[in-house]
């Protein structure tokens, strides 16, 4: 689990929002090369999803999802209380990943980085953004993705999986898209 903060705090784990958006492809490449991740996930939510925001702020949830993801998956999420920052994060990354028109919030977007391209982009819609069910659904989606190495044909009933229209997005095209959106 890797938080992205609206402002770069300069200490601890995580990134500042603007530096993350500008360095996204380098961050992913560093994670792959260092053996920290084989794939990436982004948790997207609406600012008004109070239940999911509370779930993501919980240290116990953070620890459980961090242990689950291990060296298989780097999970990024925005940790902020600012509506504008959430909107920017969602707009920029969902557009650059080419799933903005397909993904309803809240959702998790998964992808891999290989040969300078984002591949196997998939969206898992979350139906339960509340405190009671939100963590279990989020944990289940991530667990299923890791267990099946991204194969969404396993019949997961409680989650709607969507494949991106693009099979891959070249790193340079992604970088250009990010620059335009910023």
In angstroms, rounded to a whole number, what is the distance separating the alpha carbons of residues 60 and 55?
9
**Which tokens sit at 77?**
């999420």
**Which tokens sit at 40?**
């990436």
In angstroms, rounded to a whole number, what is the distance separating the alpha carbons of residues 124 and 105?
10
What's the rounded mean pLDDT across residues 12-22?
A: 79
Helix (H) or strand (E) holding 136: helix 131-147
Residue 102 DSSP class: T
Q: What is the pTM of this model?
A: 0.81
Residue-range definition of the domain harbouring residue 165? 2-181
Structure confidence at residue 12 as a pLDDT band (50, 70, 90): low
Q: Is the pLDDT of residue 167 over 70?
A: no
In total, how many domains does the chain have? 1
CB neighbour list of residue 27: distance below 8 Å, 6 or more residues apart: 15, 20
181 Cα distance to chain centroid: 18
User: What confidence tens digit (pLDDT) does each residue in 65-94 have?
Assistant: 999 999 999 999 988 888 988 998 899 889
What's the rounded mean pLDDT across residues 43-70?
A: 90
Please say whether the beta carbons of 77 and 1 come within 8 A.
yes
What's the rounded mean pLDDT across residues 138-151?
A: 84
Please say whether the beta carbons of 123 and 103 come within 8 A.
yes
């Amino acid at each position: 689990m890797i938080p992205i903060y609206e402002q770069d705090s300069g200490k601890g784990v995580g990134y500042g929002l603007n530096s993350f958006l500008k360095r996204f492809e380098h961050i992913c490449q560093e994670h792959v090369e260092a053996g920290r991740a084989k794939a990436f996930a982004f948790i997207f939510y609406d600012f008004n999803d109070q239940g999911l925001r509370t779930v993501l702020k919980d240290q116990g949830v953070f620890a459980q999802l961090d242990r689950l993801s291990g060296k298989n998956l780097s999970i990024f999420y925005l940790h902020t209380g600012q509506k504008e920052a959430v909107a920017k994060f969602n707009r920029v990354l969902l557009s650059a990943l080419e799933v903005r028109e397909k993904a309803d919030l809240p959702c998790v977007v998964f992808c891999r980085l290989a040969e300078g391209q984002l591949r196997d982009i998939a969206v898992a819609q979350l139906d339960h953004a509340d405190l009671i069910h939100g963590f279990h659904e989020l944990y289940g989606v991530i667990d299923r993705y890791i267990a099946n190495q991204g194969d969404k044909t396993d019949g997961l009933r409680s989650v709607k999986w969507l494949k991106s229209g693009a099979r891959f997005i070249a790193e340079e095209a992604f970088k250009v898209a990010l620059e335009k959106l910023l």
